[in-house]
Amino acid sequence: MDLVFLIFKLIFALPIVLGLIYILFKISGNKLNKINEGKYIKVLERTQISKETSIVVVKIGKKGYVLSSSNNATEKLDEISEEDIFILEEEKRIEKEKMNVQYGIAVKSLRDKIYKFRNKYN
């Protein structure tokens, strides 16, 4: 009987935790975007090449740079034109919007399943 009670508590707590995570992402996501928008230096992209080395695309003011970053040093590899920076930022924005839409669909699907589950057993 004790095991059944624990399973019931788990099933009851899971939607609450997922709901709190959803609310946290909604609140913090908008605030984090607004905080990062006004920055003078932005890391647009980072790709890990090896365990200790990565390639970083950085925007400083209106200029863009491709940097090689390792534990020992950071080197400038190339400069990026303003058009390329704009294209990269636009692609990132579109990808973020797609992710938000997919996240919204997943949350709506979960909500619908919970609603059906409640109606089924009520």
Q: Domain ranges in the chain?
A: 1-38
Q: Which residues of the chain register pLDDT less than 50?
A: none
Distances (CA, A) of 2 to 6, 14, 22: 6, 19, 31
Return mean pLDDT, the chain. Answer: 84
CA pair distance 106, 64, nearest whole angstrom: 36
- Provide the percentage of residues in the chain whose pLDDT is more than 90: 19
> pTM of the predicted model, to two decimals?
0.57
Contact 89, 44 (CB under 8 A): yes
Q: What is the pLDDT of residue 13?
A: 87
